[in-house]
Amino acid sequence: MRWLMSEFVIQTWNLTKHYDGKAGCSDVSLQVPPGVVYGFIGPNGAGKSTFVRTLLGLIHPTSGRAEILGHPLNNVKARAKVGYLPELFRYPDWLTGAQLLELHGDLAGVPPAERQRRIQSLVERVGLSGREQEKIRRYSKGMQQRIGLACALISDPELIFLDEPTSALDPIGRRDVRDLILALRKEGKTVFLNSHLLAEVENVCDQVAIINQGKVAAQGDWRTLCDFKSEIKLRAQGLTQDILNTMNSLVQNTELLSQTQEISEWRVQLSSGEAVPELIHYLSGMGIGLYEVVSLQPHLEEVFMYWVERKEREYAVHH
DSSP secondary structure, 72-83, as one string: ETT-HHHHTTEE
Q: Which DSSP helix (H) or strand (E) runs through 291?
A: strand 289-296
Per residue in 167-199, pLDDT (tens digit) is 778 888 888 888 999 999 999 999 999 887 777
In Å, what is the CA distance from 253 to each residue of 66, 229, 231? 44, 11, 9
| DSSP state letter for 205 | -
Given pLDDT bands bounded at 50, 70 and 90, which one contains residue 125? very high
pLDDT for position 4: 45
Q: Is 173 helix (H, G, I), strand (E, B) or coil?
A: helix
Alpha helices, DSSP H, located in the chain: 48-55, 76-79, 97-107, 112-125, 141-153, 171-186, 198-204, 241-245, 275-285, 300-318
Given pLDDT bands bounded at 50, 70 and 90, which one contains residue 20? confident
Average pLDDT, integer, range 122-142: 92
Given pLDDT bands bounded at 50, 70 and 90, which one contains residue 32? very high
**For the chain, what percent of residues have pLDDT higher than 90?**
43
Say how far apart CA 48 and CA 164 lie, in whole Å.
10
pLDDT for position 114: 93
For residue 197, which of 92, 304, 102 has the smallest C-alpha distance?
304
Average pLDDT, integer, range 54-65: 92
In Å, what is the CA distance from 210 to each residue of 167, 194, 233, 256? 19, 10, 28, 33
Per residue in 240-256, pLDDT (tens digit) is 899 888 888 888 888 89
| Residue 156 CA from chain centroid, whole number | 21
0.85 exceeded by the pTM?
no
Amino acid identity of 135?
K
Say how far apart CA 204 and CA 40 lie, in whole Å.
12
Say how far apart CA 71 and CA 76 lie, in whole Å.
9
Average pLDDT, integer, range 137-158: 92
Per residue in 210-223, pLDDT (tens digit) is 888 888 888 888 77
pLDDT for position 169: 80
Domains in the chain: ranges and CATH: 10-222 (3.40.50.300), 230-296 (3.30.70.3100)
**CA-CA-CA-CA dihedral for 51, 57, 62, 63, to nearest 10:** 90
Say how far apart CA 179 and CA 121 lie, in whole Å.
15
129 exposed, middle or buried (CB, 10 Å; 0-12, 13-18, 19+)? exposed
DSSP per-residue codes, 23-58: EEEEEEEEEE-TT-EEEEE--TTSSHHHHHHHHTTS
